[in-house]
Amino acid sequence: MQRDRLIYALLGIVPWATAATTSFSLPILPTLTPGPKAPSIPFPPSAARDPSKICVVDPEVADAGPALISAAHSCNNGGTVVLLPDTTYTIASPTDLTFLQSVDILILGTIVFSDDVEYWQTTAFEYAYQGTHLFWKFGGTDVNIYGLGIGTLDGLGQTWWTAKRSNETVYRPVLFGTDGLAGGLISGINMKNSPMWFNVIMNSSDVLITGINIWNEVTNSSSPPATKDCVSFKPNSTDIIVQNLQCNGSHGISVGSLGQYQGEYDIVEDVYVYNISMSNASDGARIKIWPGVPPNTTGSSSGGGAGYVRNVTYELFYNTNNDWAIELTQCYFASSQAACDAYPAVLVIEDILFKDFYGTTSKRHDPHVGTLVCSDPSVCKNIRAENIAIAPPSAAVAEWVCTNMDEGLLEMNCVAA
Protein backbone atom coordinates (compact mmCIF):
# COMPACT_ATOMS: atom_id res chain seq x y z
CA MET A 1 0.00 0.00 0.00
CA GLN A 2 2.97 2.38 0.24
CA ARG A 3 2.86 3.13 -3.50
CA ASP A 4 -0.90 3.58 -3.27
CA ARG A 5 -0.52 6.14 -0.52
CA LEU A 6 2.15 7.97 -2.51
CA ILE A 7 -0.10 8.21 -5.57
CA TYR A 8 -3.03 9.38 -3.49
CA ALA A 9 -0.83 11.99 -1.85
CA LEU A 10 0.45 13.28 -5.17
CA LEU A 11 -3.10 13.56 -6.46
CA GLY A 12 -4.38 14.93 -3.18
CA ILE A 13 -7.06 12.21 -3.01
CA VAL A 14 -8.16 10.61 0.25
CA PRO A 15 -8.78 6.86 -0.34
CA TRP A 16 -12.28 5.50 0.13
CA ALA A 17 -13.94 8.92 0.41
CA THR A 18 -17.41 8.68 -1.08
CA ALA A 19 -18.76 12.20 -0.84
CA ALA A 20 -17.79 15.57 -2.19
CA THR A 21 -15.21 17.39 -0.11
CA THR A 22 -12.93 20.41 -0.42
CA SER A 23 -9.79 18.54 0.72
CA PHE A 24 -8.97 17.01 -2.66
CA SER A 25 -6.70 18.41 -5.36
CA LEU A 26 -7.28 16.93 -8.81
CA PRO A 27 -4.82 16.63 -11.65
CA ILE A 28 -5.54 19.13 -14.36
CA LEU A 29 -7.81 17.98 -17.17
CA PRO A 30 -5.56 17.88 -20.25
CA THR A 31 -6.17 20.57 -22.84
CA LEU A 32 -6.32 18.74 -26.15
CA THR A 33 -6.95 20.02 -29.64
CA PRO A 34 -7.26 18.01 -32.86
CA GLY A 35 -4.44 18.35 -35.38
CA PRO A 36 -3.12 18.73 -37.94
CA LYS A 37 -6.61 18.48 -39.44
CA ALA A 38 -9.18 20.47 -37.50
CA PRO A 39 -12.97 20.41 -37.71
CA SER A 40 -14.59 23.24 -39.60
CA ILE A 41 -16.60 24.16 -36.50
CA PRO A 42 -14.73 24.31 -33.14
CA PHE A 43 -15.75 22.05 -30.29
CA PRO A 44 -18.03 23.77 -27.78
CA PRO A 45 -16.25 24.95 -24.60
CA SER A 46 -16.53 22.88 -21.47
CA ALA A 47 -18.09 24.57 -18.45
CA ALA A 48 -15.85 25.29 -15.46
CA ARG A 49 -15.63 22.55 -12.84
CA ASP A 50 -15.75 23.08 -9.09
CA PRO A 51 -12.39 21.74 -7.79
CA SER A 52 -13.97 20.96 -4.41
CA LYS A 53 -16.83 18.92 -5.87
CA ILE A 54 -15.25 15.47 -6.07
CA CYS A 55 -16.88 12.06 -5.65
CA VAL A 56 -14.68 8.99 -5.24
CA VAL A 57 -16.28 5.70 -6.23
CA ASP A 58 -16.20 3.23 -3.34
CA PRO A 59 -13.58 0.58 -4.25
CA GLU A 60 -14.84 -2.02 -1.76
CA VAL A 61 -18.25 -2.78 -3.26
CA ALA A 62 -18.75 -6.04 -5.14
CA ASP A 63 -20.50 -4.28 -8.03
CA ALA A 64 -19.16 -0.83 -8.88
CA GLY A 65 -22.00 -0.08 -11.31
CA PRO A 66 -24.48 1.32 -8.75
CA ALA A 67 -21.65 3.11 -6.91
CA LEU A 68 -20.55 4.78 -10.13
CA ILE A 69 -24.11 5.87 -10.91
CA SER A 70 -24.47 7.27 -7.38
CA ALA A 71 -21.20 9.19 -7.60
CA ALA A 72 -22.17 10.60 -10.99
CA HIS A 73 -25.49 11.86 -9.61
CA SER A 74 -23.72 13.46 -6.65
CA CYS A 75 -21.09 15.21 -8.77
CA ASN A 76 -23.27 16.05 -11.76
CA ASN A 77 -23.36 19.71 -12.80
CA GLY A 78 -19.80 20.79 -12.20
CA GLY A 79 -17.98 18.03 -10.34
CA THR A 80 -15.53 15.19 -10.94
CA VAL A 81 -16.03 11.47 -10.34
CA VAL A 82 -12.80 9.63 -9.46
CA LEU A 83 -11.94 5.95 -9.74
CA LEU A 84 -8.80 5.44 -7.65
CA PRO A 85 -5.39 4.34 -8.96
CA ASP A 86 -4.06 0.84 -8.23
CA THR A 87 -7.63 -0.24 -7.62
CA THR A 88 -9.78 -2.72 -9.52
CA TYR A 89 -13.48 -2.01 -9.85
CA THR A 90 -15.86 -4.70 -11.14
CA ILE A 91 -19.00 -3.65 -13.01
CA ALA A 92 -21.43 -6.55 -12.72
CA SER A 93 -24.74 -4.97 -13.74
CA PRO A 94 -25.94 -2.67 -16.56
CA THR A 95 -24.76 0.86 -15.80
CA ASP A 96 -26.71 3.71 -17.40
CA LEU A 97 -24.78 7.00 -17.35
CA THR A 98 -26.75 8.85 -20.01
CA PHE A 99 -27.97 11.54 -17.57
CA LEU A 100 -24.63 13.34 -17.26
CA GLN A 101 -24.35 17.14 -17.33
CA SER A 102 -21.08 19.10 -17.12
CA VAL A 103 -19.19 16.41 -15.23
CA ASP A 104 -15.77 14.77 -15.51
CA ILE A 105 -15.06 11.05 -15.04
CA LEU A 106 -11.42 10.46 -14.04
CA ILE A 107 -10.45 6.79 -14.38
CA LEU A 108 -7.11 6.08 -12.67
CA GLY A 109 -7.74 2.46 -11.74
CA THR A 110 -8.89 -0.59 -13.69
CA ILE A 111 -12.53 -1.26 -14.50
CA VAL A 112 -13.26 -4.94 -15.11
CA PHE A 113 -16.58 -6.11 -16.50
CA SER A 114 -18.06 -9.30 -15.11
CA ASP A 115 -17.65 -12.22 -17.52
CA ASP A 116 -20.88 -13.93 -16.46
CA VAL A 117 -21.85 -14.63 -20.06
CA GLU A 118 -25.30 -16.03 -19.27
CA TYR A 119 -26.24 -13.05 -17.07
CA TRP A 120 -25.39 -10.43 -19.68
CA GLN A 121 -27.40 -12.18 -22.41
CA THR A 122 -30.63 -10.77 -20.98
CA THR A 123 -29.43 -7.69 -19.08
CA ALA A 124 -26.99 -5.82 -21.33
CA PHE A 125 -28.28 -2.73 -23.11
CA GLU A 126 -29.44 -3.90 -26.54
CA TYR A 127 -29.56 -2.04 -29.86
CA ALA A 128 -31.15 -3.43 -33.00
CA TYR A 129 -28.35 -2.45 -35.38
CA GLN A 130 -26.11 -5.47 -35.92
CA GLY A 131 -27.01 -6.89 -32.51
CA THR A 132 -25.04 -4.31 -30.53
CA HIS A 133 -24.96 -4.72 -26.74
CA LEU A 134 -23.35 -2.62 -24.00
CA PHE A 135 -22.25 -3.22 -20.41
CA TRP A 136 -22.53 0.53 -19.73
CA LYS A 137 -23.31 3.67 -21.70
CA PHE A 138 -22.49 7.35 -21.41
CA GLY A 139 -24.63 10.25 -22.56
CA GLY A 140 -25.59 13.81 -21.74
CA THR A 141 -23.89 17.15 -22.32
CA ASP A 142 -20.34 18.35 -21.68
CA VAL A 143 -18.77 15.15 -20.33
CA ASN A 144 -15.02 14.50 -20.08
CA ILE A 145 -13.90 10.90 -19.54
CA TYR A 146 -10.15 10.66 -19.12
CA GLY A 147 -7.50 8.35 -17.72
CA LEU A 148 -4.19 10.22 -18.08
CA GLY A 149 -2.76 7.10 -19.73
CA ILE A 150 -3.26 5.17 -16.48
CA GLY A 151 -6.92 4.17 -16.43
CA THR A 152 -7.79 0.81 -17.96
CA LEU A 153 -10.96 -0.94 -19.12
CA ASP A 154 -10.74 -4.76 -19.20
CA GLY A 155 -13.55 -6.74 -20.84
CA LEU A 156 -12.13 -10.19 -19.91
CA GLY A 157 -12.61 -11.05 -23.54
CA GLN A 158 -11.16 -14.56 -23.50
CA THR A 159 -14.23 -15.91 -21.68
CA TRP A 160 -16.48 -14.38 -24.31
CA TRP A 161 -14.40 -15.46 -27.30
CA THR A 162 -14.40 -19.05 -26.04
CA ALA A 163 -18.17 -18.93 -25.45
CA LYS A 164 -18.75 -17.56 -28.96
CA ARG A 165 -16.71 -20.36 -30.53
CA SER A 166 -18.96 -22.96 -28.91
CA ASN A 167 -22.25 -21.07 -29.37
CA GLU A 168 -22.69 -18.64 -32.26
CA THR A 169 -25.85 -17.16 -30.71
CA VAL A 170 -23.96 -15.64 -27.77
CA TYR A 171 -24.25 -11.85 -27.59
CA ARG A 172 -20.99 -10.13 -26.70
CA PRO A 173 -21.08 -6.58 -25.29
CA VAL A 174 -19.01 -3.69 -26.62
CA LEU A 175 -16.42 -2.45 -24.12
CA PHE A 176 -17.28 1.27 -24.23
CA GLY A 177 -20.24 3.12 -25.68
CA THR A 178 -21.94 6.48 -25.85
CA ASP A 179 -25.59 7.10 -26.61
CA GLY A 180 -26.62 10.74 -26.88
CA LEU A 181 -23.36 12.40 -25.82
CA ALA A 182 -23.26 16.06 -26.90
CA GLY A 183 -19.89 17.68 -26.32
CA GLY A 184 -17.10 15.88 -24.55
CA LEU A 185 -13.64 14.38 -24.39
CA ILE A 186 -12.58 10.73 -24.18
CA SER A 187 -8.82 10.50 -23.68
CA GLY A 188 -5.88 8.70 -22.14
CA ILE A 189 -7.62 5.35 -21.54
CA ASN A 190 -6.23 1.85 -22.03
CA MET A 191 -8.75 -0.65 -23.40
CA LYS A 192 -8.07 -4.37 -23.52
CA ASN A 193 -9.79 -7.68 -24.15
CA SER A 194 -13.12 -6.45 -25.44
CA PRO A 195 -15.72 -9.20 -25.95
CA MET A 196 -16.86 -7.53 -29.19
CA TRP A 197 -16.00 -4.11 -30.64
CA PHE A 198 -14.01 -1.83 -28.39
CA ASN A 199 -16.06 1.33 -28.91
CA VAL A 200 -19.38 2.35 -30.37
CA ILE A 201 -20.31 6.05 -30.56
CA MET A 202 -24.06 6.48 -31.16
CA ASN A 203 -26.34 9.50 -31.45
CA SER A 204 -23.44 11.71 -30.36
CA SER A 205 -21.82 14.94 -31.54
CA ASP A 206 -18.87 17.23 -30.78
CA VAL A 207 -16.81 14.46 -29.19
CA LEU A 208 -12.98 14.41 -29.25
CA ILE A 209 -11.42 10.96 -28.79
CA THR A 210 -7.63 10.83 -28.40
CA GLY A 211 -4.81 8.96 -26.69
CA ILE A 212 -6.63 5.61 -26.64
CA ASN A 213 -4.51 2.44 -26.45
CA ILE A 214 -6.30 -0.77 -27.53
CA TRP A 215 -5.20 -4.42 -27.51
CA ASN A 216 -6.32 -8.02 -27.00
CA GLU A 217 -4.49 -10.73 -25.06
CA VAL A 218 -5.23 -14.25 -26.32
CA THR A 219 -4.54 -17.00 -23.77
CA ASN A 220 -5.94 -20.06 -25.56
CA SER A 221 -6.91 -21.26 -29.02
CA SER A 222 -10.12 -19.18 -29.07
CA SER A 223 -8.96 -15.96 -30.73
CA PRO A 224 -11.21 -12.88 -30.81
CA PRO A 225 -14.02 -13.42 -33.36
CA ALA A 226 -15.37 -10.38 -35.19
CA THR A 227 -13.65 -7.58 -33.34
CA LYS A 228 -13.14 -6.46 -36.93
CA ASP A 229 -12.56 -2.93 -38.13
CA CYS A 230 -9.97 -0.61 -36.65
CA VAL A 231 -12.46 2.23 -37.24
CA SER A 232 -15.88 1.85 -38.85
CA PHE A 233 -18.23 4.63 -39.89
CA LYS A 234 -21.69 3.17 -39.36
CA PRO A 235 -25.00 4.73 -40.39
CA ASN A 236 -25.40 7.67 -39.99
CA SER A 237 -21.93 9.15 -39.54
CA THR A 238 -21.20 12.72 -40.64
CA ASP A 239 -18.53 15.37 -40.07
CA ILE A 240 -15.81 13.10 -38.67
CA ILE A 241 -12.02 13.35 -38.67
CA VAL A 242 -9.83 10.32 -37.90
CA GLN A 243 -6.10 11.05 -37.88
CA ASN A 244 -2.68 10.04 -36.52
CA LEU A 245 -3.70 6.44 -35.90
CA GLN A 246 -1.59 3.28 -35.75
CA CYS A 247 -3.45 0.00 -36.11
CA ASN A 248 -2.23 -3.58 -36.31
CA GLY A 249 -4.28 -6.63 -37.28
CA SER A 250 -7.84 -5.59 -38.15
CA HIS A 251 -10.16 -5.08 -41.12
CA GLY A 252 -8.94 -1.55 -41.72
CA ILE A 253 -10.67 1.81 -41.61
CA SER A 254 -14.08 1.17 -43.05
CA VAL A 255 -17.12 3.00 -44.26
CA GLY A 256 -19.96 0.63 -43.46
CA SER A 257 -21.16 -1.80 -43.94
CA LEU A 258 -24.14 0.16 -45.29
CA GLY A 259 -27.33 -0.79 -47.11
CA GLN A 260 -27.88 -4.01 -45.19
CA TYR A 261 -31.52 -3.38 -44.29
CA GLN A 262 -34.29 -2.66 -46.78
CA GLY A 263 -36.40 0.32 -45.80
CA GLU A 264 -33.45 1.99 -44.03
CA TYR A 265 -31.64 5.08 -45.38
CA ASP A 266 -27.94 5.04 -44.48
CA ILE A 267 -25.69 8.09 -44.77
CA VAL A 268 -21.94 8.55 -44.36
CA GLU A 269 -20.85 12.04 -45.36
CA ASP A 270 -17.96 14.49 -44.87
CA VAL A 271 -15.36 12.11 -43.44
CA TYR A 272 -11.61 12.83 -43.47
CA VAL A 273 -9.12 10.04 -42.69
CA TYR A 274 -5.55 11.33 -42.46
CA ASN A 275 -2.07 10.03 -41.58
CA ILE A 276 -2.79 6.39 -40.88
CA SER A 277 -0.37 3.48 -40.39
CA MET A 278 -2.11 0.15 -40.98
CA SER A 279 -0.32 -3.19 -40.57
CA ASN A 280 -1.23 -6.87 -40.97
CA ALA A 281 -4.86 -6.12 -41.80
CA SER A 282 -7.31 -7.51 -44.32
CA ASP A 283 -7.69 -3.98 -45.68
CA GLY A 284 -6.22 -0.52 -45.37
CA ALA A 285 -9.00 1.80 -46.57
CA ARG A 286 -12.37 0.13 -47.06
CA ILE A 287 -15.87 1.03 -48.24
CA LYS A 288 -18.40 -1.81 -48.04
CA ILE A 289 -21.95 -1.61 -49.39
CA TRP A 290 -24.53 -4.39 -49.58
CA PRO A 291 -26.00 -5.08 -53.03
CA GLY A 292 -29.69 -4.62 -53.78
CA VAL A 293 -30.63 -8.24 -53.16
CA PRO A 294 -34.20 -8.52 -51.77
CA PRO A 295 -34.70 -10.51 -48.56
CA ASN A 296 -35.34 -14.25 -48.90
CA THR A 297 -33.73 -14.43 -52.34
CA THR A 298 -32.56 -17.99 -52.78
CA GLY A 299 -28.82 -18.43 -52.48
CA SER A 300 -28.04 -14.79 -51.68
CA SER A 301 -27.51 -12.56 -48.67
CA SER A 302 -30.04 -9.76 -48.49
CA GLY A 303 -29.40 -6.03 -48.76
CA GLY A 304 -31.13 -3.32 -50.70
CA GLY A 305 -30.98 -0.44 -48.21
CA ALA A 306 -30.86 3.07 -49.71
CA GLY A 307 -28.74 6.12 -48.94
CA TYR A 308 -25.33 7.44 -49.92
CA VAL A 309 -21.63 7.71 -49.10
CA ARG A 310 -20.44 11.20 -50.02
CA ASN A 311 -17.33 13.34 -49.64
CA VAL A 312 -14.99 10.84 -48.01
CA THR A 313 -11.20 11.33 -48.18
CA TYR A 314 -8.44 8.90 -47.25
CA GLU A 315 -5.12 10.78 -47.34
CA LEU A 316 -1.57 9.81 -46.33
CA PHE A 317 -2.05 6.11 -45.68
CA TYR A 318 0.88 3.77 -44.92
CA ASN A 319 0.32 0.06 -45.57
CA THR A 320 2.40 -2.83 -44.26
CA ASN A 321 1.43 -6.41 -45.12
CA ASN A 322 -2.28 -5.64 -45.67
CA ASP A 323 -4.18 -8.00 -47.98
CA TRP A 324 -5.75 -5.05 -49.83
CA ALA A 325 -4.46 -1.48 -49.62
CA ILE A 326 -7.89 -0.30 -50.77
CA GLU A 327 -11.11 -2.26 -50.99
CA LEU A 328 -14.26 -0.61 -52.29
CA THR A 329 -17.20 -2.90 -52.93
CA GLN A 330 -20.92 -2.68 -53.55
CA CYS A 331 -21.12 -6.47 -53.50
CA TYR A 332 -20.53 -6.97 -49.78
CA PHE A 333 -21.72 -10.44 -48.77
CA ALA A 334 -23.09 -11.10 -52.26
CA SER A 335 -23.09 -14.82 -52.96
CA SER A 336 -21.38 -14.17 -56.31
CA GLN A 337 -20.53 -11.41 -58.76
CA ALA A 338 -23.45 -12.63 -60.88
CA ALA A 339 -25.85 -12.10 -57.97
CA CYS A 340 -24.44 -8.63 -57.43
CA ASP A 341 -24.82 -7.81 -61.14
CA ALA A 342 -28.41 -9.02 -61.05
CA TYR A 343 -29.25 -6.85 -58.03
CA PRO A 344 -27.14 -3.66 -58.20
CA ALA A 345 -26.71 -1.64 -55.04
CA VAL A 346 -29.30 1.04 -54.31
CA LEU A 347 -26.93 3.02 -52.11
CA VAL A 348 -24.79 5.54 -54.04
CA ILE A 349 -21.05 6.15 -53.56
CA GLU A 350 -19.84 9.56 -54.76
CA ASP A 351 -17.06 12.13 -54.33
CA ILE A 352 -14.46 9.78 -52.86
CA LEU A 353 -10.71 10.47 -52.85
CA PHE A 354 -7.85 8.08 -52.09
CA LYS A 355 -4.62 10.11 -52.00
CA ASP A 356 -0.97 9.48 -51.08
CA PHE A 357 -1.03 5.74 -50.38
CA TYR A 358 2.32 4.05 -49.71
CA GLY A 359 3.72 0.69 -48.68
CA THR A 360 3.25 -2.98 -49.47
CA THR A 361 0.51 -5.57 -49.38
CA SER A 362 0.65 -9.18 -48.22
CA LYS A 363 1.21 -12.18 -50.48
CA ARG A 364 -2.46 -13.16 -50.38
CA HIS A 365 -3.56 -11.55 -53.68
CA ASP A 366 -0.16 -10.87 -55.27
CA PRO A 367 0.16 -9.16 -57.77
CA HIS A 368 -3.24 -7.60 -57.01
CA VAL A 369 -2.96 -4.93 -54.32
CA GLY A 370 -6.49 -3.52 -54.21
CA THR A 371 -10.02 -3.91 -55.52
CA LEU A 372 -12.67 -1.36 -56.49
CA VAL A 373 -15.96 -2.98 -57.48
CA CYS A 374 -19.16 -1.08 -58.24
CA SER A 375 -22.29 -3.10 -58.93
CA ASP A 376 -23.28 -0.60 -61.65
CA PRO A 377 -21.58 2.60 -62.95
CA SER A 378 -24.72 4.63 -62.19
CA VAL A 379 -24.26 4.25 -58.43
CA CYS A 380 -20.54 5.09 -58.32
CA LYS A 381 -19.66 8.70 -59.16
CA ASN A 382 -16.44 10.72 -59.00
CA ILE A 383 -14.27 8.12 -57.29
CA ARG A 384 -10.65 9.24 -57.61
CA ALA A 385 -7.22 7.88 -56.69
CA GLU A 386 -4.08 10.06 -56.75
CA ASN A 387 -0.42 9.35 -56.00
CA ILE A 388 -0.85 5.67 -55.21
CA ALA A 389 2.49 3.91 -54.57
CA ILE A 390 1.53 0.43 -53.39
CA ALA A 391 3.63 -2.63 -54.24
CA PRO A 392 3.02 -6.37 -53.87
CA PRO A 393 5.73 -8.35 -52.06
CA SER A 394 6.88 -9.87 -55.35
CA ALA A 395 8.67 -7.94 -58.06
CA ALA A 396 5.53 -7.91 -60.21
CA VAL A 397 3.79 -4.74 -61.33
CA ALA A 398 0.99 -3.81 -58.94
CA GLU A 399 -2.50 -4.54 -60.29
CA TRP A 400 -5.85 -3.17 -59.17
CA VAL A 401 -9.09 -5.04 -59.80
CA CYS A 402 -11.51 -2.43 -61.18
CA THR A 403 -15.15 -3.21 -62.03
CA ASN A 404 -17.66 -0.65 -63.34
CA MET A 405 -15.31 2.20 -62.40
CA ASP A 406 -14.36 5.37 -64.31
CA GLU A 407 -10.73 4.33 -64.76
CA GLY A 408 -9.83 7.78 -66.09
CA LEU A 409 -10.09 9.06 -62.51
CA LEU A 410 -7.87 6.35 -61.07
CA GLU A 411 -4.07 6.65 -61.12
CA MET A 412 -3.85 2.88 -60.94
CA ASN A 413 -3.01 -0.08 -63.15
CA CYS A 414 -6.58 -1.39 -63.45
CA VAL A 415 -7.25 -4.97 -64.57
CA ALA A 416 -10.38 -7.05 -64.91
CA ALA A 417 -11.42 -9.34 -62.09
Cα→Cα distances 37→21, 62, 272, 273, 275, Å: 40, 44, 9, 9, 10
CA-wise closest residue to 64 among 103, 22, 105: 105
Of residues 417 and 305, the one with the higher pLDDT is: 305
Contacts of 332 (CB under 8 A, 6+ apart): 256, 257, 288, 289, 290, 291, 303
Q: Are 230 and 251 in contact (CB under 8 A)?
A: yes
Same fold, 1-227 and 228-417: yes
Domain at 1-227, CATH class? mainly beta
Segments making up each domain of the chain, as ranges: 1-227, 228-417
Burial class for 104, CB neighbours closer than 10 Å (0-12, 13-18, 19+):
buried
Confidence band (pLDDT; 50, 70, 90) for 219? confident
User: In the predicted model, what is the mean pLDDT of residues 362-371?
Assistant: 98
Q: Is 401's pLDDT higher than 90?
A: yes
Candidate CATH numbers 3.40.50.2020, 2.160.20.10, 3.90.1150.10, 1.10.40.60; the one for domain 228-417: 2.160.20.10
Write the pLDDT tens digit of every residue in 369-396: 999 999 999 999 999 999 999 999 998 9
pTM to 2 decimal places: 0.92
pLDDT, residue 22, reads 38
Q: Is 8's pLDDT higher than 70?
A: no
**Of 104-113, 198-207, 285-294, the least confident:** 285-294
Write the pLDDT tens digit of every residue in 16-42: 444 444 355 788 888 899 999 999 999
Contacts of 167 (CB under 8 A, 6+ apart): none
